[in-house]
Amino acid sequence: MDLSTDYMGLKLKHPIIASSSPLSNTLAGIKLLEDSGASAIVMFSLFEEQIRRENEAFDFFLESGTESFAESINYFAPIDTAHKGPEDYLNLIRKAVETTDIPIIGSLNGITSEGWIDYAKQIQEAGASALELNIYFIPTDIDMSASEVEQRYFDILKTVKDAVFIPVAIKLSPFFSATGNMAKRLDEAGADALVLFNRFYQPDIDLDNLKIDPRIDLSTPAEIRLPLLWIAVLYGRIKAALAASRGIHSSTEIIKYLLAGADAVMVASALIKNGPRYLSVLIDETDKWLTARDYRSLDEVKGVMSRQNVKDPAAFERVNYIKVLESFENPFMSGMVNNRRDNPFI
């Protein structure tokens, strides 16, 4: 089975990319991801705040206690030593490019288009094959309109596209009132790929100490549904490549994303949880599943279950939601009599 894929002009031996995460904090970590089979690596992000030395979001990543991050307890520790500043970031990319044979994708994480974006050029000069822009903007200012929020994305994209010749991907949030239209306009504005989706930091409340709990949990497979929907809807309708990010914990999620129309898939949580070597399991199992079904190349797989290729495109739409709701049976009203005995609420 030929698993090779084209991701925004990068020729990858298979579609499984190591997503931006602390696993790429060190050269040893990057080498391990390559040895484990990653077809490309998206570096951890260089933050606008880090460059500006304001450090708000950055401090969050540094200081969110490793203890509160149950499933990846060891993975925050190296950040302290690795994130010394933009120079260290560029040096790490330089070394990674020299010592690996896979594309290294730089990652910039910010919310404005001024000043810090010069680093896009320097990441290119350091040898990165492409750049991913993570516009991690949470519009808590309720006077800011949707079009102002959207304009930020276009301003950042334009500034970066004007500065570099390497391909530029945008890691998008799903929180737009017209996500599909936003994707279309970013495509028209020159985005070479869209990464769907960013996982936003959503703080919890610590009831014991009445404090805000700044926690990031690892993803679960159930989270693929939202990116899956939008990849299936966008497939064949925009020029930009589509990368799926979220919820990949086994080959099942990978195959679903490919059938929906992803050109590449990105994995972070599963590698943090199981270790980078888990990549080889993901690759083997994806290969086996597709080979067993007589697929010969990834092109035969991509988009088979996209909105434009399924028999019933309405399956992706509201009408289907209504059907699902109508067919939903109340388990406490039929069949599950035994539950009643054990359930004090019925």
Ligand X SMILES: Cc1cc2nc3c(=O)[nH]c(=O)nc-3n(C[C@H](O)[C@H](O)[C@H](O)COP(=O)(O)O)c2cc1C
By the criterion CB under 6 A, which residues form the site for ligand X? 19-22, 44-45, 72, 75, 107, 109, 134, 171, 199, 216, 218-219, 245-248, 267-270, 272
Write down the least CB distance from residue 69 to ligand X, Å.
Answer: 7
Q: Which is nearer to ligand X, 69 or 235 (CB)?
A: 69
Q: Which is nearer to ligand X, 1 or 168 (CB)?
A: 168
For residue 326, which amino acid is it?
E
CB 223 within 8 A of CB 247: yes
Q: Which is nearer to ligand X, 109 or 124 (CB)?
A: 109
Q: Which is nearer to ligand X, 235 or 257 (CB)?
A: 257
- The bridge status of strand 10-12 relative to strand 5-7 is antiparallel
Q: Which is nearer to ligand X, 161 or 199 (CB)?
A: 199
Tokens 């497939």: give the residue. Answer: 235
Cis peptide leading into 176, omega within 30 of 0?
Answer: no
Write down the least CB distance from residue 117 to ligand X, Å.
Answer: 16
Write down the least CB distance from residue 276 to ligand X, Å.
Answer: 13
Residue 297 CA: distances (Å) to CA of 197, 265, 300, 327: 26, 16, 6, 38
Name the 3-class secondary structure at 11.
Answer: strand
* Angle at the Cα of 164 from the Cα atoms of 19 and 41, rounded to 5 degrees: 15
Write down the least CB distance from residue 263 to ligand X, Å.
Answer: 16
Write down the least CB distance from residue 257 to ligand X, Å.
Answer: 11
Write down the least CB distance from residue 8 to ligand X, Å.
Answer: 16
Measured CA to CA, the distance from residue 104 to residue 96 in angstroms comes to 7
Measured CA to CA, the distance from residue 222 to residue 127 in angstroms comes to 36
Q: Which is nearer to ligand X, 77 or 314 (CB)?
A: 77
Write down the least CB distance from residue 305 to ligand X, Å.
Answer: 20
| Torsion sign across C-alpha atoms 80, 85, 87, 91 | positive
Residue 188 CA: distances (Å) to CA of 6, 162, 181, 195, 291: 20, 15, 10, 16, 36
Tokens of 193: 């790929």
Q: Which is nearer to ligand X, 65 or 335 (CB)?
A: 65
Q: Which is nearer to ligand X, 5 or 173 (CB)?
A: 173
Name the 3-class secondary structure at 6.
Answer: strand
Angle between helices 118-125 and 146-163 (to 10 degrees): 40
Measured CA to CA, the distance from residue 108 to residue 45 in angstroms comes to 5
Write down the least CB distance from residue 28 to ligand X, Å.
Answer: 18
